[in-house]
Amino acid sequence: MPIELTASQALGLWYGVSLNQVRMDERDLTLRQMAILLHIYLVPPPHTVRGLAAELNVTKPVITRALDTMGELGLVDRIRDERDRRNVVIKRTVGGALYLEKLGDRVREQGRRLSP
Amino acid sequence: MPIELTASQALGLWYGVSLNQVRMDERDLTLRQMAILLHIYLVPPPHTVRGLAAELNVTKPVITRALDTMGELGLVDRIRDERDRRNVVIKRTVGGALYLEKLGDRVREQGRRLSP
DNA sequence: GAAAAACGTTACGCATGCGTTCCATTTTCG
DNA sequence: CGAAAATGGAACGCATGCGTAACGTTTTTC
């Protein structure tokens, strides 16, 4: 069930959500951090640093640092993979789920406000 | 003509556009810069530093710096208001319009890819 | 006309993210 | 086993954005 948007609606939607996010300023994630967080929550696990780096086309330290930051914010969690102790498995958290739930609400709300 | 999205669709849309933007990495605007740019292009002029600061609920230097950066990228332009020379009027550019046109296309494209 | 207000900018010290490079640990392979 | 590969992280110097406070210019106010 695809969604058909006009150019004006598409930008209006992006604007509304961005503005809302900036004004509230709860936590200010980078676009990269946002993409990482969404990937973790929308794509089936498991997720590793290397996998995320390849998926987003960025270097590994970028992922490590993003996980550091978002870990402190309680949005994600890291645990070592006991089956292959070189790997780190990235886990979801309640805080992360709540954060994205609010983001989703914001997107839906802005979608509802759209004019044709 | 509002758009009704499910929670999953809303996050999927945001994810798709963010991922696309990160991968391409043409120019990496802050969420604030993005909101400022969209405001300038979607809300009728004139736009001033003070007005933008109030609208986005940020301080004036934030606007000045964002205009510096986006000015160098060719996305916006600044000219002094000759009627009241204290003011600076923020103008759109061809580059900015093209940039947002591509963003809008990305949003529409992701909207079309949505599953129910 | 002089003082006050308004506007945008600059200066400062600080925090955070970046890319490159190197490293420690663990696993794989000959 | 021992060498090679793979994984995630730390270290470094750098670039950019932030908030606060001050400034220069221009306009308004009395």
- Does residue B1 fall inside a structural domain? no
- Does residue B2 fall inside a structural domain? no
- Does residue A1 fall inside a structural domain? no
Cβ-based contacts of B114 with chain A (< 8 Å): 1-3
Is residue B10 predicted with pLDDT exceeding 90? yes
Q: How far apart are CA B89 and CA B40, in angstroms?
A: 11
b/e per residue B8-26 (b: at least 16 CB within 10 A): ebbbbbbbbbbbbbbeeee
Nearest chain B alpha carbon to A14: B107
pLDDT of residue B9: 96
Is residue B14 predicted with pLDDT exceeding 80? yes
Instruction: Express each pLDDT in A42-75 by its tens digit.
Output: 999 999 999 999 999 999 999 999 999 999 999 9
- Does residue B70 fall inside a structural domain? yes
Instruction: Express each pLDDT in B41-61 by its tens digit.
Output: 999 999 999 999 999 999 999
pLDDT of residue A59: 95
Give the distance from residue B101's alpha carbon to the nearest chain A alpha carbon, in angstroms. 8
- Does residue A2 fall inside a structural domain? no
Nearest alpha-carbon partner for A33 in B18, B72, B29, B67:
B18
Q: Residue B19's domain spans which residues?
A: 7-113
Angle at A52 between CA A49 and CA A57, to 5 degrees: 120
Q: Please check whether residue B90 is in contact with residue B70, taking contact to mean a CB–CB distance below 8 angstroms.
A: no
Range B26-34 average pLDDT: 88
Is residue A116 predicted with pLDDT exceeding 70? no
- Does residue A80 fall inside a structural domain? yes
Query: What are the tokens at A87?
Result: 């790997």
pLDDT of residue B69: 97
Instruction: Express each pLDDT in B65-106 by its tens digit.
Output: 999 999 999 999 999 999 999 999 999 999 999 999 999 999
Q: Where does chain B show beta strands of DSSP type E?
A: 76-80, 88-92
- Does residue B37 fall inside a structural domain? yes
3 state DSSP class of B30? coil
| Structural domains of chain A, count | 1
CATH number, domain containing residue A99? 1.10.10.10
pLDDT band at B26 (very low <50, low <70, confident <90, very high): low
- Does residue B12 fall inside a structural domain? yes
Q: Please check whether residue A48 is in contact with residue A63, taking contact to mean a CB–CB distance below 8 angstroms.
A: no
Chain A stretch 71-110, residues whose beta carbon is closer than 8 A to a beta carbon of chain B = 100-101, 103-105, 107-108
pLDDT of residue B116: 61
pLDDT of residue B3: 85
Is residue A1 predicted with pLDDT exceeding 80? no
Instruction: Express each pLDDT in A11-25 by its tens digit.
Output: 999 999 999 999 987
Is residue A27 predicted with pLDDT exceeding 80? no
The beta-carbon neighbor of B18 closest among A6, A19, A35 is A35
Mean pLDDT of chain B: 94
Partnered with residue B76 across adjacent β-strands are B92
CB < 7 Å to strand D — which of 41-70 in chain A?
Answer: 48-51, 60-61, 63-64, 67-68
pLDDT of residue A111: 95
DSSP states along A34-83: HHHHHHHHHSPSP--HHHHHHHHT--HHHHHHHHHHHHHTTSEEEEE-SS
Is residue B63 predicted with pLDDT exceeding 80? yes
Q: From the CA atom positions of chain B, what is the Rg in Å?
A: 16
Which CA distances in Å does B39 have to A24, A70, A114, B109? 16, 28, 15, 22
pLDDT of residue A3: 85
Q: Please check whether residue A29 is in contact with residue A37, taking contact to mean a CB–CB distance below 8 angstroms.
A: yes
pLDDT of residue A13: 97
Chain B stretch 12-31, residues whose beta carbon is closer than 8 A to a beta carbon of chain A = 12-15, 17-19, 21-23, 25, 28-31
